Amino acid sequence: QDIISEMSEVPPQFAEYPRVPQRPRVRIEAIGEAWKLLTQDLGTWALAGFITSVFAVVAFLPLYLVSIIQLVASRTPTLGQMFIFYVLIFGAMIALYIAQGLGYAGMYRMALKKLRGEPIAMKDYFAWDSSMITHAVASLIIALGVVFGSILCYLPGFIVGGLLMLTQPIIVARKCGVGEAVGTSWNLLKGDLWMATGLYFLTSLVAGLGAIACGIGMIFTLPLLPLTFAIVYRDFSQGEYSSNGPTAPYDVMAR
């Protein structure tokens, strides 16, 4: 009777099937993990960072120079000239955000491939397809959200950036549209709002430190951003990156 009673007791680790996967968390340690991955293929990542920086400069510089020239040409700018100046500056920033988004798309492809344990090369960076338009639009939405949010005492900008940091890795992994990627990223991370905000701030800070050395260091630190955010995506997509094969991934959209 005692044996039967003991066997009928529910063990402390028992969970009825189907077991619901535990909700992943945003980890600050992702930055350190990203740095280790970066150093394993430093030359490849540095080249990707350099090309992304060139994309950004080439996209931004023409309209920026035109805006400065037209303003300097007049010693006393009129209201109309000042309006044109700001329109051109805004256009230059739009071009910059789109170019960065295209560069990041290549680095996200490399990062997710690296996290699957596969070797990476620059051909992965240039594996462009129809999703590049989606990346360009997504990057523009994120950048504008961060910029306009930053106008409100900065913090809202970091919150928007944190909640949307999985948008581009989701586009790479799931081949989905902008709306679905933005919504999925927001829903996945809103439960970790402050950790996501903090990680976005720290990663952006570290990635931007390379600008101190005359901008050259950017080619080494810039890839940290897509690598870190790809690691966060991996943590929230256990089924795609489980070492034991496919499992039931946590999907907030199904909850």
**Residue-level pLDDT at 36:** 95
pLDDT at 152: 82
Q: CA-CA distances (angstroms) from residue 225 to 20, 89, 113, 176, 201?
A: 31, 25, 16, 21, 10
Determine phi and psi for 222, rounding to 5 degrees: -55, -40
Rounded Cα distance, 106 and 198, in Å: 25
The confidence score (pLDDT) of residue 82 equals 87
Question: Which segments in the chain show pLDDT lower than 50?
Answer: 1-8, 10-12, 14-15, 17, 242-255
Among 26, 46, 28, 30, CA closest to 38: 46
pLDDT of residue 5: 46
Q: Which two three-digit tokens encode residue 146?
A: 């961060």
- In DSSP notation, 2-39 reads HHHHHHHSPPTT--PSSPPPPPP---TTHHHHHHHHHH
Q: What is the pLDDT of residue 240?
A: 60
Q: Report the alpha-carbon distance of residue 56 to residue 48 in Å, rounded.
A: 12
The whole-angstrom separation of Cα 47 and Cα 18 is 46
pLDDT of residue 20: 52
pLDDT at position 2, please? Answer: 46
Give the pLDDT confidence score for residue 213 in this predicted structure.
Answer: 60
pLDDT value at residue 130: 86
So what's the pLDDT on residue 248? 36
Cβ atoms of residues 54 and 220 within 8 Å: no
Task: Give the pLDDT confidence score for residue 244 in this predicted structure.
Answer: 44
Q: What is the pTM assigned to this prediction?
A: 0.82
